[in-house]
Structure 1
Amino acid sequence: MKNELNSELSSPEGTRGQFNDRPSTIKLGIDVHQAFYVVVLQEGGSNPKPPQRFSKEAFLVWAAKLRAKHPGVQLHAVYEACGFGFGLQRALTARGFNCLVVCPQKLDERQQRVKTDGRDARTLCLKLSRYVEGNKEELAVVRVPREAEEQARALHRQREQLVRTRKQLEAHGRSLLVNHGCEPVNKWWKARAFTTLAVPAWLKELLGHTQPLLLALEAQIRALTVQLQAAAAPDQPRGLGALTSVVLDREVCSWERFANRRQIGSYTGLCPGEHSSGQTRLQTCVTKHGNPRLRAALVELAWRMVRFQPEYRPVVKWRRILAKGALAT
């Protein structure tokens, strides 16, 4: 009788791991919170272990011990991108982990309407296991910027936040004017406009509480604008301003990471959506899937071209095309 090959072992690494009583890979699914982490561990292809909860400091100590306990084992970890940055990814990478940061997604795959930290960490761990085995569609991996890139883009993001705050305070002042029967004044907080405001004294006193804040915000925004424009490369493409150029470059971080223009379009979220079935093909509005700040900068760039260069040949062409349908502008 011929000997039959045991096909239950998936790989030579798995074979060695079974006979040596150690896993070939260890995967961690991490549900990140501000004060703690919920972690699910999977050894090799076995079932994930029950979730564990760690404080931030205790988790890094535990991860270092795990690395020391399994010196020749590949360690993988995954967590969703969130408002806590990439510090955890860098800390785990420094301890010998291959740590991935992925786009947030709905983790209730079976539609059970039950969401807990442990379930989320377990689902992430199982997705990571399939990703490591070769199914790259399981996770949408986020590129982790270098610390220098992250610090550079923080400057124009702070300027964006200051502009948003200025608009909110300015709108609050206009709302006060309208609510009390006065005509709204654009840029009412400017020195000359504020001096000539024809409003009751009590209302002007209320607006006076906000006006110094708006003046200080305007000064900070101007200073940041000058600083960002000074960082622009001297050989800018025609029609591209210095500030927009800096925003585009710092949001993209590295143009070399894109293999073709389709990937760039996908990253901006300006690709058309599609809802097709059978013989029906319908292209919808843009997907808005990607970097929202980059998309906003590109949309503003296009509108400035339409407004200030209406005779530019592509602008004339697309105005003529849009005028034929319901999307005329």
Structure 2
Amino acid sequence: MPRTNLQKQNDFSGQDFYVGLDVHKRSWSVTIRSLGIQVGHFTQPPGAEGLYDYLQRNFPGGHYHSAYEAGFCGTYAHEELCKLGINNILLHAADIPVTDKQKKNKTDLHDSRAIAEHLERGNLHGIHVLSRDQQELRGLFRLRQSKVADIVRSNNKLKSFLMYHSIVIPETVSTTGFLSVKVLDWLAIELSSMAGTLTLQQYIADLKYQREQLYRITKSLRTEILILHKQTYESLLSVPGIGSITAMGLIAELADFSRFDDADKYSSYLGLCPWEDSSGDTVKTKGMQPRCNSHLRPLLIEASWKAISKSRSMFAYYSKHAGKDSKKAIVKVARKLAMIAKGVAISGKPYQEDYLKQKQQEYQKMKALKAERFSSGIAEQHINKQPGTELYVPMPG
């Protein structure tokens, strides 16, 4: 019987295919669903091109949608999938609905299958993905924060060593106990043994090295901020309490302040909103929510303490709420400070201390002017209705 090379090929034009990915370093677990059924599951080497070739070969002409959890691999896979025409979204791991059975029986197959199912149902919403340049800028800022932690660690190690060996810094060198450059120069002393002297020198050298690295990183970060976001940076510096580090942190972590169209979403991202555990008539408020940007919240809380000492309006706002709980009051100030920072960043204009007061005064003047015009218009109508030269006033009823 003669054979032919012609094969019947299905046409999936306009059909949606939902791909759930469980991304790992050495493999991707893939589940594909369409029209409410699972049409494929396999494991492939990591790479967007291999997945795209499989979809084109088996489901040509379809509309492809995919999703995977944001994690160690960053956004490179997301960018590659989008370039190939696959509508991909990045997911926060806590946003994927999981049953108790799925928690107790967790495999790559179950993870990719759950993502594909919820993606098809429309239950998943992707997180905001920063541009590549912005991610690198954010990485530089987070490197600076980790370097600050390294300095604290080195500083504590040296202090612990001095305390253990009863080395007391004289008051003529330092009265605060801060390990300044002058103190480190004074510590160039010899102990009773070569081992002790070498240990002390290494602790001092490590602290100096960490401080030098912090200076270089901070200088480079400020240079990049001034090149890319100079106007926003200068506007943020005009806000009371916000210094150079807080301004750079806000710009590096948020990039586009206007992407938050709702004040509650913005405050929730910063971790300045309370979270509840309520049921029926029982209402429990648990304070600040743990899910937030952990790099910005401490900076804003610290900036709030500075703000209440520099701004009359901030101090008045803090005093209004401090009677109940000073810690909760400073969080309220931090939320207000964050909203002000967002406003000046979007407008590009410096902060004005009495801006709201001026707006209120302008509103009152406008309201009084409208009332005056309205009353004058009523008087003119009365004058037009008067018989002869005598003012006509309508009687009630």
Query: For this structure pair, what is the TM-score category when the shorter chain's length is used for normalisation?
Result: 0.7 to 0.9
Distance (whole Å) between structure 1 residues aligned to residue 258 and residue 181 of structure 2: 47
Q: Which of residues 284, 288, 292 in structure 2 aligns to 1:290? A: 292
Aligned counterpart, 1:109? 99
* 8 Å CA contact 2:322, 2:329 repeated in 1: no
Q: Which residue of 2 aligns with 1:43?
A: 34
Q: Secondary structure at the match of 2:295?
A: helix
Q: 2: distance between equivalents of 1:150 and 1:320?
A: 42
The residue correspondences of 1:13-92 to structure 2 (distance < 5 A) are 24-47=15-38, 49-50=40-41, 52-57=42-47, 60-67=49-56, 70-92=59-81
Distance in 2 between residues matched to 1:193 and 1:252, nearest whole Å: 39
User: CA separation of 1:29/1:182 partners in 2, compared to 1, >3 Å: closer, same or farther?
Assistant: farther
Between 249-258 and 307-316, the greater mean CA deviation after superposition: 307-316
Could you give the per-residue CA deviations for residues 196-220 of structure 1, whole angstroms, max 9, x where no partner exists? 3488353342132232232122122
Contact persistence 1:41–1:49 (CA under 8 A): yes
Name the structure 2 match of 1:4.
Answer: none
Q: 1:37 to 1:328 in 2, by over 3 A?
A: closer
Structure 1 107/274 Cα, relative in aligned 2: closer, same or farther at 3 Å? closer
Deviations 1:168-210 (A, max 9, x none): 222233333444555699554x443234348835334213223
Give TM-score, length-normalised by structure 1. 0.79
Match of 1:162? 147
Write the distance in 1 (CA, Å) between the matches of 2:98 and 2:190.
56
Q: Deviations over 1:268-302 (max 9, x none)?
A: 12111112222222322111322221223222212
- The match for 2:307 is 305
Letter aligned with residue 84 of structure 1? C
Unaligned runs of 5+ in 1: 1-18, 132-137
SS in 2 for 1:35: coil
Range with greater deviation from structure 2 (216-225 or 89-98): 216-225
What does 1:1-329 correspond to in 2, within 5 Å? 24-47=15-38, 49-50=40-41, 52-57=42-47, 60-67=49-56, 70-105=59-94, 108-111=98-101, 113-131=104-122, 138-180=123-165, 186-188=177-179, 190-197=180-187, 200-201=191-192, 202-229=195-222, 231=226, 232-233=230-231, 234-236=234-236, 237-239=238-240, 240-305=242-307, 312-322=315-325
Aligned 8 A contact 1:75 1:97 in 2: yes
Question: What amino acid does structure 2 have at the position aligned with 1:118?
Answer: L
Report percent identity of matched pairs: 22
Instruction: List alignment gaps of at least 5 residues for structure 2.
Output: 1-9, 170-175, 332-397
What is the Cα deviation at residue 140 of structure 1?
Answer: 4.2
Structure with the greater alpha carbon radius of gyration: 2
Superposed CA deviations along residues 233-264 of structure 1, whole A, max 9, x for unmatched, are: 33333312233112112211212212121121
Instruction: Tell whether the 8 Å contact from 1:29 to 1:79 is kept in structure 2 after alignment.
Output: yes
- Look up the SS of the partner of 2:80 in the other structure: helix
* SS in structure 2 at match of 1:115: coil
- 1:307 is displaced (CA, Å) by 6.7
Match of 1:12 in 2: none
- Partner amino acid, structure 2, of 1:167: V
Secondary structure of 1:47 counterpart = strand
More helix by share: 2
Aligned residue for 1:26, secondary structure, equals: strand
Q: Which moved more, 1:117-126 or 1:201-210?
A: 201-210
Residue 48 of structure 1 contacts residue 122 of structure 1 at CA under 8 Å; is this kept in 2?
A: no
* Runs of 4 or more above 6 Å deviation: 307-311, 325-329
**CA–CA distance in structure 1, aligned partners of residues 328 and 115 of structure 2:** 44
Contact 2:141–2:221 under 8 Å retained in 1? yes
Residues 138 and 253, structure 2, Cα contact 8 Å, conserved in 1: yes
Does structure 1 conserve the Cα–Cα contact (< 8 Å) formed by 2:23 and 2:46?
no
**RMSD, matched Cα:** 3.2
Q: Compute the displacement of 1:152 (Å).
A: 2.1
Assess, with a 3 A threshold, how the Cα gap between structure 1 residues 194 and 64 changes in structure 2: closer, same or farther. Answer: same
- Between 175-184 and 83-92, report the one with greater CA deviation: 175-184
CA change 1:118–1:61 in 2 (3 A) is same
Taking the aligned partners of 1:328 and 1:256, their CA distance within structure 2 comes to 25
Question: Which shows bigger deviation, 81-90 or 197-206?
Answer: 197-206
